[in-house]
């Protein structure tokens, strides 16, 4: 891996993930630049970095989400690349584009892949084209109440309404009988509009009591893509994961291979590069369905690192620098 392809990287984040990225950079001999808001002046990530730049007041919209200030900080300090961490701007295609336009390397996927897989509707349509199983449902562009109601009746109950641009359970409603449908649709769209500025929803048949299994994928710019096995995250509270474990206690070897192959196939269909996570629902009968993709490093990435014996952040940096993956799926 070309560990010295970058001499300096700016981390566009704070807290634990910023410190984690700095550790990887330090091991590679790469200098780091922290950005911080006025509220984080004494934060650990500021003290750990080789350089630190104040980018604005405490509100994230005026600091950690301010693309122009972050780009300016990178250029002023001579950083060649920006690692977004997770959260904040990590899944914003316009930030990845802004980096490229400024002559900076975005350590993450291409903007087009972020946009494609960031739309749950578009991602599910691509999954179907790539032969990756998806739950029966409706993902159409027509969003009139009458059409959504007709499609809900076609899909059948129990039914799940989900925000296309959503996550974290926002804009989601489970509907078990037709009498609850209209109120659920209205509530889901209202919540999605408030949370994401987009009230588009899609419908899918509710898989009851599923397991939630996610597959870590890693792809380079040379056409190589591998999966690094699964993380089981079925123990959740209010759609937020509480416990992640690997290997999954229920996956059979042939299920693991099939789910991993599906994740790789979908990543390649999306033109994906760098680290990402494919999420699946595993039904009681052993069938699985694509749920969504997280186009970034996840909070839970250390679980995969412990199981696979790799440093995902260092691999992200190497891939962004143009390196090929140093291993194959067979390895």
Q: How many CB atoms lie within 10 A of CB 76?
A: 12
CA-CA-CA-CA torsion sign (138, 140, 146, 150): negative
Q: How many CB atoms lie within 10 A of CB 132?
A: 22
**CATH value at residue 286:** 3.30.470.20
Residue 124 inside a domain? The answer is no
| CA 143 centroid distance within chain | 26
Q: What is the pLDDT of residue 120?
A: 85
211 sits in which H/E element: strand 211-219
Q: What is the pLDDT of residue 283?
A: 94
C-alpha torsion angle, residues 89, 90, 94, 95 (rounded to 10): 70
Rounded to an integer, what distance in angstroms lies between the CA atom of residue 302 and that of residue 312?
A: 8
The residue-averaged pLDDT of 137-155 equals 93
Query: What band does 1 get if pLDDT is binned at 50, 70 and 90?
Result: very low
Q: Indicate if 22 and 85 belong to the same structural domain.
A: yes
Q: What is the pLDDT of residue 92?
A: 97
Active centre residues (catalytic): 296
Q: Can you point out the beta strands (E) in the chain?
A: 8-11, 31-37, 51-56, 81-83, 105-106, 137-138, 159-163, 173-175, 201-205, 211-219, 225-232, 236-237, 240-241, 274-282, 288-294
| Per-chain mean pLDDT for the chain | 95
Check whether 167 has a pLDDT greater than 80. no
Q: Indicate if 147 and 80 belong to the same structural domain.
A: no
- Pick from 216, 324, 231: nearest CA to 267: 216
Q: Indicate if 201 and 241 belong to the same structural domain.
A: no
Are the beta carbons of 229 and 246 closer than 8 angstroms? yes
The residue-averaged pLDDT of 236-240 equals 86
Are the beta carbons of 234 and 212 closer than 8 angstroms? yes
The residue-averaged pLDDT of 57-71 equals 97
Query: What band does 194 get if pLDDT is binned at 50, 70 and 90?
Result: very high
Split into its structural domains, the chain has a count of: 3
| CA 129 centroid distance within chain | 21
The residue-averaged pLDDT of 71-86 equals 98
Are the beta carbons of 15 and 86 closer than 8 angstroms? no
High-pLDDT (> 90) share of the chain, %? 91
The residue-averaged pLDDT of 71-95 equals 98
- Pick from 207, 130, 118: nearest CA to 163: 118
The residue-averaged pLDDT of 315-329 equals 97
Among all chains, which residue has been given the structure tokens 């975005």? Answer: 106
Length of the chain: 331
Alpha helices in 111-230 (DSSP H): 111-118, 120-129, 145-155, 181-196
Residue 96 inside a domain? The answer is yes
Residue 1 inside a domain? The answer is no
Q: Indicate if 224 and 192 belong to the same structural domain.
A: no
Task: Provide the residue range defining the domain that includes 185.
Answer: 136-205
Check whether 34 has a pLDDT greater than 50. yes
* Burial bucket for residue 20 (CB in 10 Å: 0-12, 13-18, 19+): buried
**CATH value at residue 69:** 3.40.50.20
Check whether 4 has a pLDDT greater than 70. no
- Please, which residues bridge with residue 113 across strands? none
């Amino acid at each position: 891996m070309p560990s010295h392809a970058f001499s300096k990287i700016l981390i566009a984040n704070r807290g634990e993930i910023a410190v984690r990225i700095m550790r990887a950079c330090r091991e590679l001999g790469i200098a780091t630049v922290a950005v911080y808001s006025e509220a984080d002046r004494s934060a650990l990530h500021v003290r750990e970095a080789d350089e630190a730049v104040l980018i604005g007041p405490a509100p994230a919209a005026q600091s950690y989400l301010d693309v122009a200030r972050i780009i300016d900080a990178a250029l002023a300090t001579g950083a060649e690349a920006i690692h977004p961490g997770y959260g904040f701007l990590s899944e914003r295609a316009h930030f990845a584009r802004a980096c490229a336009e400024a002559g900076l390397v975005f350590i993450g996927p291409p903007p087009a892949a972020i946009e494609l897989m960031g739309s749950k509707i578009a991602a599910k349509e691509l999954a179907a084209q790539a032969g990756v199983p998806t739950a029966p449902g409706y993902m159409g562009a027509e969003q009139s109440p009458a059409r959504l109601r007709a499609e809900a009746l076609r899909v059948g109950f129990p039914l799940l309404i989900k925000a296309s641009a959503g996550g974290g359970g926002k804009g989601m409603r489970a509907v078990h009988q037709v009498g609850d449908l209209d109120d659920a649709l209205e509530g889901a769209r209202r919540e999605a509009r408030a949370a994401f500025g987009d009230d588009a929803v899609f419908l899918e048949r509710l898989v009851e009591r599923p397991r939630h299994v996610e597959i870590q994928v890693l792809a380079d710019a040379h056409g190589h893509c591998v999966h690094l096995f699964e993380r089981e995250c079925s123990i959740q509270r209010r759609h937020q994961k509480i416990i992640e474990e690997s290997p999954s206690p229920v996956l059979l070897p042939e299920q693991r291979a099939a789910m991993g192959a599906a994740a790789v196939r979908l990543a390649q269909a999306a033109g994906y590069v760098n680290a990402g996570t494919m999420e699946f629902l595993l039904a009681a009968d052993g069938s699985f369905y694509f749920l969504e993709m997280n186009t970034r490093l996840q909070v839970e990435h250390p679980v995969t690192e412990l199981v696979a014996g790799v440093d995902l952040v260092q691999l992200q940096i190497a891939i962004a620098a143009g390196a090929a993956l140093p291993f194959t799926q067979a390895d």
